Amino acid sequence: MKRPRFAYLRLGETPAHHDNGVLYCDPLTSLVAYPSFEAHLVQMLPVFAGTGLHVAIGDVDGLREYVSVQRSSDPASFGHLAGNACMRIIGRVTTRWAESELADTVFQLCGTFGGDEVIAAASGISHELFADRIRGLCQAIKVAAPRPCSFALATLEADGVTPDGAADAYRCLVSMVDARLFQEKEQARRNGHGLDGFVTDLGIVDLHERAGRASGATGGRH
């Protein structure tokens, strides 16, 4: 399957006519901005869900503490500037990683919700290969950026997703991955330490099965 081509707009650029669509980029990280990321992934879900869609969410470890330290040690940094510099590096590392490590996929998209996180989606490679490459991204960020980034990832089981059900499937998959990431972070805090570039893998998930279990659990309460 031929990979679709899109125009990427960055700060200061204005939309022109593009037959293949436009993806708006976050001006700080140059990753695809939310909600453009969500809208495009929902649109593409029915196309690529049949071959399995991988999603990984990364959240910077200890960024608040890092910003506080920088603010106290470097008055010119104003704290948030240090955080911005960190996210700019992470965005650059992620972009270069995607260009090389996701070049063999039929679909790939890297974005951000607009805070201290990275989202990567891809289709056309195995779950194991995607997970291995996310571990590579995690290590690359740890080497290049002032703070590491921990990830959670999952693969949507190859199945049909209709256009009408795409938005719900997207939210369910992303919420599942996001929840696991923050569970890991919360557990690490309760244990007295933070994460330091950790990758947790939910494996291949069946949204229909999970929806059925949730429905059954809800029914049992009535």
Domains of the chain: residue spans and CATH: 23-221 (3.30.70.270)
Q: What is the pTM of this model?
A: 0.83
Rounded to whole angstroms, the Cα distance separating 60 from 27 reads 18
Q: What is the pLDDT along the chain (222 residues), one digit of tens a residue?
A: 666 666 666 554 555 554 456 788 898 999 999 888 999 999 999 988 888 899 999 999 987 777 777 766 666 666 677 888 889 999 999 999 999 999 999 999 999 998 889 999 999 999 999 999 999 999 999 999 999 999 999 999 877 788 999 999 999 999 999 999 999 999 988 888 777 899 999 999 987 665 545 444 434 333
